[in-house]
Amino acid sequence: MTLVLISPHVQEAPIRTAPPLLELAHVSKAFPARRRFGLRRAVVRAVDDVSLSVGPGECVGLIGESGCGKTTLGRLALRLIEPTSGTIRFGGADLSSLDQDALAALRPRMQIVFQDPYSSLNPRKTVEQIVGLPLAVHARLPRTQRRERVIEALDWVGLGSGASHRYPHQFSGGQRQRIGIARALITRPALVVCDEPVSALDVSVQAQILALLRRLRREFGLAYLFISHDIAVVAHLAERIAVMYLGGMVESGPARELIAAPRHPYTQALLSAVPRLHAAPATRLAGDPPSPLAPPSGCAFHTRCPVAMPICRSIRPRLVTDATGHEVACHLHDPSPA
C-alpha cells in the first residue's frame, strides 16, 4: 500500500504538491424514489457529477443546506454506499475496483464521526467495546492489547480510563461525541469524514469538541472531510471549502478567500444569511430549495438566483477553475459560455 506520508503541520497549504489522499472524480449517486402510488419511477440525483479532493493532512469543509447531498458525498467518499458513476481514489487506490478484502484492508485508514452522539453509539455496549470494535474488526488484536489501545484512545480525546467500563447513557452529549471520535481514531486513520460532528451540541460544548478536533489533527496529521451546515464552524477549521446545492458543486476554493469574496450567487446568499454577532443582516434568498426529485433545468439555482440570466434556465454551467484553485459553476464567471 502506498499511503502518503503525512507532515503534522499543513495548516497553510492552499496549493498542494502532494498527490491527494482522497480524490472523487465526476461522482454521481442516484437513489430510486418511488412516486406516490408507485406509478412512476423517479430517481433523486443526490450527488450529481461532483469532483473533490482532500490532500494529506488537509481539512476540506463541505457546506450546503439540508438535502444538498453533502452527507451522501461523505458516505460515497468512504464507499459506504456505491456510486452510480464516477471514480473514488483513496491513497492512489481506486476504491470502486477493490474487492472486499482489499477494501477492508484500507478501512482502518479512513474513518467517520457521525452527527448524532446518541444514536451512533450502541447503548448495550460498554465504551471499551464501542471504541475497541474497529480494532477487533480490523486488527484482530488480543483483548489485553486492545484494552491498552482503548485507554490510549480515550486519553487522546480527554476521557479517563474510568470511562471504559461505562455505558453511553452515562455520558453527556459532548462526552459521547468524544467517544465517537476515539472510536474513529483508534485505527490511526489518515482521513476522517466528520459528518456534522458538533451540530447536536450546545455552543460551549461545541467549542470544546472543535478545539479537540483541531488538536488531534495537528497531533496525528489527520485529513478531515468536514461536513456541516454551519458555515462559521467550517470556516474555523477548513483550509478549503466546497459548497453544494441540490446535489451539485457550485463553488470551491481556499477557505479564507471563499468566505471573504464568494463568487457564486448561492454562496453569497448563504454567507449573507448567517446571523452575525456584530453585523446587520444583509440580502435574502426567497423561497425554499427546490425538490431534488424535480431539480430545475440548466443551473439548479436559477429559480432563486437574484442575478439569473436567460442562459441559466437552459444550460448547466460548468466548473471554471482559476489559478488559485478557486472553482465556480456559474455563467457569470465563465469567460466562454457554451
Partner 1 sequence: MIPLLSIRALRVRFPTPAGPVDAVNSVDLDVFPGECLGVVGESGSGKSATFLATLGLLPSATIRTDGIVWKGRDIDPDALRGREIALTLQNALTALNPALRIGTQIEETLAAHGQGGKRRDRAIALLRRVGIPDPTRRLHAYPHELSGGMRQRAMIAVALACAPHLLIADEPTTALDVTVQAQVLDLLRALRAEHGMSLVLITHNLAVAAGNCDRIAVMYAGEIVETGPAARVLTAPRHPYTIGLLRSHPSLDEPEAPLLPIPGRIPDPGAWPSGCRFAPRCSRHVAACDAPQTLRAVPDGAVRCCQAGTA
The residues that touch partner 1, with contacts defined as CB under 8 A, are: 65-66, 172, 174, 202-208, 210-211, 229-233, 235-236, 255-256, 259, 269-281, 284-289
Q: In angstroms, give the least distance from the CB of 100 to partner 1.
A: 38
Whole-angstrom distance, CA of residue 6 vs CA of residue 216: 14
In the chain, the amino acid numbered 14 is: P
Q: How many CA atoms lie within 13 A of 128 on its CB side?
A: 15
Q: In angstroms, give the least distance from the CB of 47 to partner 1.
A: 18
Q: In angstroms, give the least distance from the CB of 305 to partner 1.
A: 12
Whole-angstrom distance, CA of residue 51 vs CA of residue 88: 9
Rg of the chain, C-alpha, whole Å: 21
Q: In angstroms, give the least distance from the CB of 197 to partner 1.
A: 13
Between 204 and 336, CB nearer to partner 1: 204
Q: In angstroms, give the least distance from the CB of 68 to partner 1.
A: 9
Between 26 and 276, CB nearer to partner 1: 276
Record the cell numbers describing residue 45, joined without a space.
Answer: 440525483
CA dihedral 68, 330, 319, 323 (to 10 degrees): -120
Give the neighbor-by-neighbor strand order of the sheet with 85-90: 41-54, 22-34, 85-90, 93-94
Between 149 and 304, CB nearer to partner 1: 304
Between 308 and 320, CB nearer to partner 1: 308
Whole-angstrom distance, CA of residue 206 vs CA of residue 194: 14
Between 70 and 149, CB nearer to partner 1: 70
Between 106 and 163, CB nearer to partner 1: 163
291's CB contacts (< 8 A; 6+ apart) are none
Q: In angstroms, give the least distance from the CB of 172 to partner 1.
A: 6
